Amino acid sequence: MSYVSEKERLLNRERQAAGVAAAHQRGVVFGRKPMERPAEFETIRELWEKGEISQGEAARRLGISRPTFVRWIGKN
């Protein structure tokens, strides 16, 4: 019985992988769309670079999380 279950699980994984590969070939993009940076991002970034505000404060003003702010300042 466990052999049949394992075999079915492997077949399911193969079918899923084939479906994902076919979707990628069709140009389907998985996951959430990237957030766009607000217009005031550069202004707030400059304040952060001058040391006038913290990363947390900059993120709060932009309405994003601190890790997102850190990621954005690293990408330029």
Mean pLDDT for 6-26 is 96
Mean pLDDT for 30-58 is 93
Mean pLDDT of the chain: 93
Reported as a single tens digit per residue, the pLDDT across 12-21 is 999 999 999 9
What confidence tier does 76 reach under pLDDT thresholds 50, 70, 90? Answer: low
* CA–CA distance, 68 with 40 (Å, rounded to integer): 15
What confidence tier does 28 reach under pLDDT thresholds 50, 70, 90? Answer: very high
Mean pLDDT for 33-50 is 92
CB-based contacts of 63: which residues, under 8 Å, 6+ apart? Answer: 38
